[in-house]
Amino acid sequence: MYLPAEDTYLLIRGLESYDNLGKVLEIGFGSGKVAEALNGRSEIYIGCDIDFNVLKDFKLKNPYNPKIELVCCDSASCFRNSFFDTIVFNPPYLPSDSIIDHTINGGPEGCELILKFLENSFRTLNSTGSIFFIASTLSNLSKITSFIKDNEFGCKEVIKEKFFFEHIILFKCKKLS
Ligand SMILES: C[S@@+](CC[C@H](N)C(=O)[O-])C[C@H]1O[C@@H](n2cnc3c(N)ncnc32)[C@H](O)[C@@H]1O
């Protein structure tokens, strides 16, 4: 289980000024800390995670939260096209040759999981929706921004913070019209 950390709180802070998030999907739900912060501003909130145990833990601790629905799946693979208004994720982004820890290892250049999450998000986001995601300067950021551009999305930094040897950044993406 990933304990809420600086990146979790950066994601929450960066979204503070967004009042109405509509139908929200969070990829990589973890402890549910982000959901607890955003849930009051959503029409529905779906959290998905590849780790069934984190979802089970959250349900055991919060049995009566009817607004948060949980799904165990790989990225957003099981959701229909063009549905969500807002997709958020704080992905594993540390460069690593193999995925030993699902909570932190993001692939050889630290961006492979982010690219997979983005590809799934582009498909399941509606045409006016927004994607918010965390990335680090330890990851290959130019590969991420090129991928976004190649998929005809725009991308900007919402908030950025220095943390030891890296900067962690919250990005916002929207379909270019
Ligand atoms: C950095 S943690 C973030 C947890 C929480 N959202 C937070 O901000 O504290 C990343 C989460 O992504 C999940 N995850 C990793 N790979 C995934 C995948 N392919 N599909 C869905 N979730 C995944 C991990 O199990 C972990 O809970």
Distance from residue 177's CA to the centre of ligand 1 (Å): 30
Please report, in tens digits, the pLDDT of each residue of the chain (177 residues total). 889 999 999 999 999 999 999 999 999 999 999 999 998 999 999 999 999 999 999 999 988 777 899 999 999 999 999 999 999 999 999 999 887 888 988 899 999 999 999 999 999 999 999 999 999 999 999 999 999 999 999 999 999 999 988 999 999 999 998
Confidence (pLDDT) at 177: 81
Distance from residue 23's CA to the centre of ligand 1 (Å): 19
Confidence (pLDDT) at 35: 96
CB distance 121 to ligand 1 below 6 Å: no
Confidence (pLDDT) at 67: 83
Domain 6-175 sits in CATH at: 3.40.50.150
Model-level pTM greater than 0.85? yes
Which residue has the CA at smallest separation from atom 12 of ligand 1? 28
Confidence (pLDDT) at 77: 94
Q: How many alpha carbons fall within 13 Å on the CB side of residue 56? A: 4
CB distance 76 to ligand 1 below 6 Å: no
Distance from residue 43's CA to the centre of ligand 1 (Å): 22
Distance from residue 67's CA to the centre of ligand 1 (Å): 20
